[in-house]
Structure 1
Amino acid sequence: MKQAVVYRSAFVALALTLGAGAASAQGNATLDGIAKYREMLQDGNPAELFEMKGEELWKQKRGPKAATLEQCDLGKGPGVLKGAFTELPRYFKDTGKVMDLETRLIHCMVTLQGFDSAELYKAAPSIGKGEGANLVAITTYVATASKGLRFNLPNNTEQEKAMYEVGKRLFFQRSGPHDFSCSSCHGMEGGRIRLQDLPNLTKNPGDGIGFAAWPAYRVSNSQMWTMQKRLNDCYRQQRFPEPKFGSDATIALGVYMGVNSKGAESIVPAIKR
């Protein structure tokens, strides 16, 4: 009888070991499949079309003032694009605010081209039409100019430090009908929802991951998403009310994730499932 129990225990242990091995092998096969899928997507990324449109809009005389955006100061001097994206959001003395790329571009469209600020902020969430689509394209063009560079957000002024702390608190704040927070999905190692990896954004997630991958083209809905859109959708998935475009909340979260991404290489424009 004792011998039978020993055999049975040994069989169970062997079965568990083989099952774990099979699960591990299946997991590795799944990861390999995802990697190949993403590699295939990168060939002919439609984001290039948005980049081209953005370049045309950057150089085109538009708005009531019939001016281009070529003198827009994104933090490195008028018209300097290379390296600007990887240092945003940041504090701007001329506005007295910490601004991300999208809100800074709206500022330039208002001051240089004469567009109405309220109308631009109203149009911005409609990423597929009108000035909302134009803003997405310009954002993609400017961000792409820093592809391959490494994030190095300034975090020196009182305003930047305050926004970092606000972003950190928002990242860990649990609320809503499901008691979710940003950290529920992005506060641990090895997380995943279905085929989507969930990087740990409480620290530097690495090259081309998290903050270093947006704007990105979403294959599932054939849209180009900027960081503002990505954050708003995260709030939607948490069943939170979506923040207003360009809100201090989204910019603070951008500061928190951007500072944490120091040294990570930008792969923008990326492509997502």
Structure 2
Amino acid sequence: MSLLQTVLSRAVPLTLAFTAAFAVPAAHAQGSTADEIAKYRQMLADGNPADLWEAAGEEMWKKPAGPKKASLEQCDLGKGPGVVKGAYVELPRYFADTGKVMDLEQRLIHCRMTLQGLTQAEATATPFSGGKRSDIERLVAYVTGASRGLPVNVQLKHPAEKESYALGKQMFFYRGGAYDFACATCHATDGQRIRLQDLPNLLEEKGARFAYTTWPAYRVSQGEVRTMQHRLYDCLRQQRFPEAVYGSELITALTMFLAKNANGGTYDAPALKR
């Protein structure tokens, strides 16, 4: 059984209305729609509600919590205890203290357990808001926001990082589910779309940078900030794959593949999405 199969075995409305303006030839209509969506996002950018999530996340980062009554200010995200600025653009990465490659959400779980004394169940409770507030989404908004304006710089120096990237690449092309889809079905070709959304080619520098550097994001249609784990979880759901375990190495590997492909792109999130 391959590593991918092993991992998979463990993983068991804002509506944009465009009317008469698009009664034009298809090629022009596609370009016009994308342009209008881009303008709409720009109009809202200055009032992105994700700012509230960032502020709440910073408060949580600094506030003593858990059985140990400790803050997360000594959490090492890869650049030293407590260093937040620039950490996200270098994740996922290998951590010697755990002996594994971790993305941001995995690392936050680790810090909440080791520093604050939470159990794994407590540290992973409500990873995605939906009726209940998600502390993780707020912490992620704060940490990622601290890297805004910096270039993505994910390295493959450690053998475990190379292995993670290779697994992520394998997963990207892996076909399965009821539709026999892969990530590559939608994201390995230029010019594809679904409804009003352009589907970036994640194998090309431009597409990979555009997609990766704008997550996490405030989803207007959901009224929440959604993390990278949620983004990939939702993609797999739409492909009708088995539900991925939150914080699993599979999601980290896929994130590693996407992040490495986006290297050099300027990080600009939490962003705003439909």
TM-score range (shorter-chain normalised) is 0.7 to 0.9
* 1:188 maps to amino acid: T
Equivalent in 54, 57, 73 of residue 57 of structure 2: 54
Cross-structure match for 1:3: none
Determine whether 1:252 maps to 2:253: yes
> How far does the alpha carbon of each residue in 1:24-57 deviate from its partner, in whole angstroms, 9 at most, with x for none?
3333322221121111221300000000000000
Partner of 2:7: none
User: Quick check: 1:93 aligned with 2:96?
Assistant: yes
Task: State the 1:221 CA deviation.
Answer: 1.2
Residue 196 (structure 1) shift? 1.1
- Tell me the number of residue pairs that the alignment of Structure 1 and Structure 2 aligns: 251
Alignment of 1:51-200 (within 5 A): 51-126=54-129, 129-130=132-133, 133-200=134-201
For the 8 Å contact 2:100–2:160, the answer to whether it is kept is yes
CA contact (8 A) 2:200 2:207 kept: no
Q: Secondary structure at the match of 1:205?
A: helix
CA distance in structure 1 between the aligned counterparts of 2:101 and 2:80, rounded to whole angstroms: 16
Q: Distance in 2 between matches of 1:230 and 1:190?
A: 21
Larger deviation: 240-249 or 46-55? Answer: 240-249
Q: What one-letter code is carried by the residue in structure 1 that aligns with 2:77?
A: L
Cα distance in 2 for residues equivalent to 1:118 and 1:35 = 40
User: Where does the alignment leave 5 or more consecutive residues of structure 1 unmatched?
Assistant: 1-20
Q: Which residue in 1 is equivalent to 2:38?
A: 35
1:74–1:84 contact (8 Å) kept in structure 2 = yes
Percent identity over the alignment?
Answer: 53
For residues 27 and 229 of structure 2, the distance between their equivalents in structure 1, rounded to whole angstroms, comes to 36
2:218 corresponds in structure 1 to 217
Of residues 187-196 and 230-239 in structure 1, the stretch that sits farther from structure 2 once superposed is 187-196
Residues 183-204 of structure 1 show CA distances to partners (whole Å, capped at 9, x for unaligned) of: 0111111221111111111232
How far residue 119 of structure 1 moved from its aligned partner, in angstroms, is 2.6
TM-score by length of 1: 0.88
Task: From the two aligned structures, give the one with the greater helix fraction.
Answer: 1
Give distance in 1, aligned partners of 2:129 and 2:26: 43
Report deviation, 1:176: 1.1
Larger RCO: 1 or 2 (CA < 8 Å, sep 6+):
2
Paired residue type of 1:195: L
User: What is the alpha-carbon distance in structure 1 between the residues aligned to residue 49 and residue 80 of structure 2?
Assistant: 30
